[in-house]
Amino acid sequence: MRLYLASNNEHKREEFSLLFPDYEIVLPKDEGLSFDPVEDGSTFIENALIKAEALYDLIGMPCIADDSGLCVKAFGGKPGIHTARYGEEGGNKLSDREKYTLLLKNMEGIKERDAEFVCTMVLIVDKHNKYVVEKSVKGHITEKAEGLNGFGYDPVFYNDEALNVSALLSSEEKNTFSHRAKAAAAIKEILEKEKDAIWREMNRR
């Protein structure tokens, strides 16, 4: 069964394919659709809804979206919804390595290093049924980067549940202990309950 993902990121497609192995993950660009909604919400939930609703308006089919980020206690929960654009306020583009290196620099001398990764997922089955799930995983920002697995801020985030730096976790471990994996597990339960409705929507096309 197909599941449309509100993203054009191939890395995210790969990750969602692992999280939802019973579904073929389809991106808007696969259908030749232009998809670039303005994520101007003030919370993860608002931004995930913006993406999911924008895609549903385009295709009228069951779809899923997520919004996630790193919330650092010493920074009042920032970068939060701006995690993907951290350090880019001046318009300059930064690589993942440059972003987490900047984070480490900005945290030099700070003893309070608690942080959490948050993931919100939205599933739209049809115009009357929308589901929102938000999960998080707690940890702290390390003093230095470690590991090559994962992406984003994984090399500087110590996952308290996994008892390791996220970038040192295997794919199997990440699919157990990550914030996105936790949200996906909850969405999969909903998908199971709604599979008949999803099948009907898919066959309308």
**Catalytic (active site) residue 160:** no
pLDDT digits (tens, 9 = 90+) for 105-137: 999 999 999 999 999 999 999 988 999 999 999
- Dist. CA 172–CA 147, nearest whole Å: 15
Q: How far is CA 198 from the centre of its chain?
A: 22
Quote the mean pLDDT of the chain. 92
- DSSP state, residue 194: H
Residue with tokens 């993902």: 5
Structure tokens at 10: 């191939």
Query: Which residues form the domain of 133?
Result: 2-203
Of the residues 40, 66, 67, 154, only one is catalytic, namely: 67
In terms of DSSP bridges, do strands 114-126 and 63-72 run parallel, antiparallel, or are they unpaired? Answer: antiparallel
pLDDT given at position 198: 79
User: CA-to-CA distance for 79 and 70, rounded, in angstroms?
Assistant: 6
Query: What's the structural domain count of the chain?
Result: 1
Per-residue pLDDT tens digits for 11-45? 889 889 989 999 999 999 999 999 999 999 999 99
Strand boundaries in 6-165, DSSP class E: 24-26, 63-72, 114-126, 129-141, 157-159, 164-165
Closest CA to 174 of 154, 190, 189, 188: 154
The CATH number of the domain holding residue 180 is 3.90.950.10
47-101 pLDDT, tens per residue?
999 999 999 999 999 999 999 999 999 999 999 999 989 999 877 889 999 999 9
Task: Check residue 205 and give its pLDDT.
Answer: 61
